Amino acid sequence: MPTYKLFATTPKAMETLLTEELQTLGITQIKATMAGVAFEGDLETAYRACLWSRTANRILLVLSSFEVKSQEDLYNGIQAIDWFEHMNPDDTFAVSFSAKNSEAINNTHFGALKVKDAIVDQMRDKFQQRPSIDTAQPSIRINVYLQGELAQLSLDLSGESLHRRGYRDVNIKAPMKENLAAAMLLRCGWPQIAKQQGALIDPMCGSGTLLLEGAMIAADYAPGLLRDYFGFIGWKKHDAPCWEKLRAEAQQRKKRGIETLPIIVGFDQNRQTVNTALAHIANAGLQHKIHVERRDIEEASPASSWKPGLLICNPPYGERLGTEQETSDLYKRFGESLKAHFVGWKAAMIISNPELGFRLGIRSQKPITLFNGALECKLLRLNIEENSFFIPKAKTQEDRITQALDSVSTEHVDTVGADMFANRLTKNLKKFSRWAKQQSVNCYRVYDADLPEYAVAIDIYQGEQRWVNIQEYEPPKSIDQHKADQRLAALLAEIPKVLNVPREQVFLKIRKKQRSTDQYEKQAELGQFHTIEEGGCKLLVNFGDYLDTGLFLDHRPIRMLIQKQAKDKRFLNLFAYTGSASVHAAMGGAKSTTTIDMSNTYIAWAKNNMALNKSTGEHEFIQADCLDWLALATKQENKQQYDLIFLDPPTFSNSKRMTDVFDIQNDHVTLINNAASLLAANGILYFSTNFRRFKMDLDALADLKIVDMTKQTVPEDFARNQRIHYCWSIQHAE
């Protein structure tokens, strides 16, 4: 067999695991790079990697590398390959194209089209017949990676990502991919624990991914054995006898391994989730080998006959629960359960907020960084021993705020810095209060980290009273916490005096780096709503219960524009939050408004906002995942049309109420196309995002007329930060 250059891709931070895995398959010429491993071998080596790798995403067979300084170079480099060696004229193919730091081609959609054209033109010239495109299961899948001026052309032997083992119901989305689950188990030493017949328990097992990956590792069960499609099956050079030999060998190893499986058990409090896990276990042929039952976390204890082993789970992140306090309480209860029932065991969990790990009250080893999609997480590994127990002393956000407020006295305040801050705030107040009066604006930003040492945003809300909402940007870890608290105390001493507001009408929140839908999660249960007015619209705000108040002040101009354009229009508000844009449309004379948000809380808030205002027209409120709602609406034969659409999605979300992980950069083309399909002939779609590194894929949206209107929609009080959001108007091309 000839030797090929091969490349295995893997999620970031899993390169070392993949290297070790390939070494266990007998592969020696290995070089790890970012998000992948290069190696060499014959077809049997490549097939073995496809069949046995638990951590790889794809196995690529490199066909050529060539220089690309122009579009023609790419076309010619692809045509240099004799594609008849790899497929017949009536076969199908698909192209994956990615580029980094390329001046010649920086649009992936265009690059893929150029590759496709080169292949189709060659086959048509030779055979007067062209292969067709099949993005689902093509005969061959072609991968091109262009870095700088060097292109690497490969065949994707995996066909589709290897994390898709074949046991999962394709209609059910999991909070983690199978190769991440395998990586967690490998990092925790599960193979060695399993050989010693130690038990595996997942007390929050969800759809069973960790249980199944653990069983497959312990049983020497090849992760690719259930799959019926690989990218090499339709390849002309496919060695079918070699592949069947490897599959037969894997079947024998699985048969032997299943007979010696240790105890593997999963618990979950949700009955439907338990049923899903059982279905996946049956799909893998592991029924009667993995036990799953409905049980709360406090009851997740091992039987006395089970040999201590590994407890592992993917517990809910903060955004997947109600309040911060509820999340903290869950981890505290989980820690108490571990201390009570699992002494002598090892435990591991993946979390997005490392501070939650302290709530367990058990010292962990050095956390390991892993990525759950785009979300950076930490894998905590614990030895459940009494000498590792401690009483958590971490302060909550509420503790710190209270302490800072109570410490407002001259002995705690940096008077020089406080004077500088007070002078700047006074100057800003004079400027923006005059501007706000001229523009009839009642709620505005008066300060936004103008002095780097005093990194807060200060917003004034004027209604029946004046309120001040302060958001403290989380200080860098290099800043001493005591010093940060002193500066916070200085701010809180000066703000009521400068802004002439009683201290009880000043609200403070700490704005950390956002994780998914953090800004929507409850911070408290005060239930105090206040009414403000904007452009003749009455709107409810809440300063105590949530990180945000219910009104994004930077979107004021786009709301006013919607109000101006809404007369006799059908208005659709997607990811509507508290429905303020719907109120503006209604007050502008909209014929109808449709307000959609995933949260029952915010739909109720939106209804209350609308009820405050005397408006005509029909108003519909829908609690739904906007992605699912749009996907369904676009497929309807007589789909509803809207004249005006506002689309302001989150940057990233993996909320338990969503059916999939959402990433605005990766998913915006589909999202915008779906929304635009509901747009009337002369309608306008306004799309906004606050993702600072966002890049609109204009080529992929070439059928639409897209105009950047960011400058027009960033108001004067936010002008110091031109990247507070981006905004485009989108219409059907004429």
**What is the residue whose two structure tokens read 């496809």?**
50
The predicted-structure confidence for 197-248, as pLDDT tens digits, reads as follows: 999 999 999 999 999 999 999 999 999 999 999 999 999 999 999 999 999 9
Q: How confident is the model at residue 117 (pLDDT cuts 50, 70, 90)?
A: very high
Task: Please say if the pLDDT value at position 627 is more than 60.
Answer: yes
Note the pTM of the prediction, 2 decimals. Answer: 0.60
Q: How confident is the model at residue 478 (pLDDT cuts 50, 70, 90)?
A: low
The predicted-structure confidence for 249-263, as pLDDT tens digits, reads as follows: 999 999 999 999 999
Task: Please say if the pLDDT value at position 320 is more than 80.
Answer: no
Q: Average of pLDDT values for 63-86?
A: 97
Query: Considering only CA atoms, which of 681, 686, 685, 682 is closest in space to residue 726?
Result: 686
Q: Average of pLDDT values for 45-57?
A: 98
The predicted-structure confidence for 692-704, as pLDDT tens digits, reads as follows: 999 999 999 999 9
Task: Please say if the pLDDT value at position 450 is more than 70.
Answer: yes
227 near 336, Cβ under 8 Å?
no
Instruction: Give pLDDT, residue 410.
Output: 40
Instruction: State both tokens at 241.
Output: 């006898």
Query: Considering only CA atoms, which of 433, 486, 478, 483 is closest in space to residue 458?
Result: 433
CA 383 – CA 368 distance, rounded (Å)? 15
54 near 10, Cβ under 8 Å?
no
Q: Average of pLDDT values for 658-687?
A: 89
DSSP 15-62: HHHHHHHHHHTT---EEEETTEEEEEE-HHHHHHHHHH-SS-SEEEEE
Instruction: Give pLDDT, residue 373.
Output: 83
Tell me, yes or no, if the two domains 178-227+249-388 and 532-732 fold the same way: yes
Q: Average of pLDDT values for 345-355?
A: 89
Please state, rounded to an integer, the average pLDDT across all residues of the chain: 89
Instruction: Give pLDDT, residue 76.
Output: 97
Instruction: State both tokens at 643.
Output: 């004249």
Instruction: Give pLDDT, residue 297.
Output: 85
Instruction: Give pLDDT, residue 330.
Output: 84
Instruction: Give pLDDT, residue 170.
Output: 66
**What is the residue whose two structure tokens read 């003749």?**
536
Instruction: Give pLDDT, residue 44.
Output: 97
Rg (C-alpha) for the chain, rounded Å, is 29
SS (H, E, C) 552-600: CHHHHHHHHHHHHHCCCCEEEEECCCCCHHHHHHHHCCCCEEEEEECCH
Instruction: Give pLDDT, residue 519.
Output: 42
Instruction: Give pLDDT, residue 529.
Output: 93
4-156: CATH number = 3.30.2130.30
Share of the chain above pLDDT 70, in %: 90
Residue type, 194: A
Instruction: Decide yes or no: CATH 3.30.2320.30 for domain 395-513.
Output: no
Q: Average of pLDDT values for 41-63?
A: 98
CA 639 – CA 678 distance, rounded (Å)? 7
308-339 exposure pattern, b = at least 16 Cβ within 10 A, e = fewer? bbbbbbbbbbbbbbebbbebbebbbebbebbb
The predicted-structure confidence for 529-540, as pLDDT tens digits, reads as follows: 999 999 999 999
Long-range contacts of 385-391 (CB under 8 A, 24+ apart): 385/343, 385/344, 386/343, 388/362, 388/363, 389/339, 389/361, 389/362, 389/363, 390/361, 390/362, 390/363, 391/361
Q: How confident is the model at residue 522 (pLDDT cuts 50, 70, 90)?
A: very low
Q: How confident is the model at residue 394 (pLDDT cuts 50, 70, 90)?
A: very low
Q: How confident is the model at residue 521 (pLDDT cuts 50, 70, 90)?
A: very low
Residue extents of the structural domains in the chain: 4-156, 178-227+249-388, 395-513, 532-732
Instruction: Give pLDDT, residue 525.
Output: 45
Count each helix (H run) and each strand (E run) in the chain, helices first: 20, 30
The residue ranges of DSSP E strands in 463-541, in sequence order, are 466-473, 506-511, 530-534, 537-541
CA 265 – CA 302 distance, rounded (Å)? 9
Task: Please say if the pLDDT value at position 635 is more than 50.
Answer: yes
Task: Please say if the pLDDT value at position 325 is more than 70.
Answer: no
The predicted-structure confidence for 19-39, as pLDDT tens digits, reads as follows: 999 999 999 889 999 899 999
Instruction: Give pLDDT, residue 299.
Output: 86
Instruction: Give pLDDT, residue 409.
Output: 44
The predicted-structure confidence for 602-616, as pLDDT tens digits, reads as follows: 999 999 999 999 888
The predicted-structure confidence for 279-308, as pLDDT tens digits, reads as follows: 999 999 999 999 999 998 888 899 999 999
Q: Please give the C-alpha separations between residue 639 and each of 209, 622, 636, 648, in angstroms, as whole numbers.
A: 38, 16, 5, 22
Instruction: Give pLDDT, residue 1.
Output: 75
Task: Please say if the pLDDT value at position 59 is more than 60.
Answer: yes
**What is the residue whose two structure tokens read 């103008």?**
450
CA 204 – CA 331 distance, rounded (Å)? 12
Instruction: State both tokens at 569.
Output: 């229009």
**Who has greater pLDDT, 445 or 508?**
445
Q: Average of pLDDT values for 704-723?
A: 93
**Cα 407–chain centre separation:** 39
Which stretch of DSSP H or E encloses residue 341? helix 324-341
Fold of 178-227+249-388: Rossmann fold (3.40.50)
Q: What are the residues facing 537 on neighbouring strands?
A: 534
Instruction: Give pLDDT, residue 404.
Output: 54
Q: How confident is the model at residue 547 (pLDDT cuts 50, 70, 90)?
A: confident
Task: Please say if the pLDDT value at position 463 is more than 50.
Answer: yes
Task: Please say if the pLDDT value at position 668 is more than 70.
Answer: yes
Q: How confident is the model at residue 407 (pLDDT cuts 50, 70, 90)?
A: very low
Task: Please say if the pLDDT value at position 683 is more than 60.
Answer: yes
Residues 698, 699, 703, 704: what is their CA dihedral angle, to the nearest 10 degrees? 0
**What is the residue whose two structure tokens read 């036990």?**
291
CA 455 – CA 465 distance, rounded (Å)? 26
In sequence order, which residues have a C-beta less than 8 Å from that of residue 504 and are 6 or more positions away? none
Task: Please say if the pLDDT value at position 393 is more than 70.
Answer: no
Q: Average of pLDDT values for 384-391?
A: 88
Q: How confident is the model at residue 660 (pLDDT cuts 50, 70, 90)?
A: low
φ and ψ at residue 623, rounded to 5 degrees: -90, 110
HSE (side-chain half, CA atoms, 13 Å) at 356: 26
Q: How confident is the model at residue 638 (pLDDT cuts 50, 70, 90)?
A: confident
Instruction: Decide yes or no: CATH 1.10.10.10 for domain 532-732.
Output: no
295 near 269, Cβ under 8 Å?
yes
Share of the chain above pLDDT 90, in %: 74
CA 485 – CA 234 distance, rounded (Å)? 64
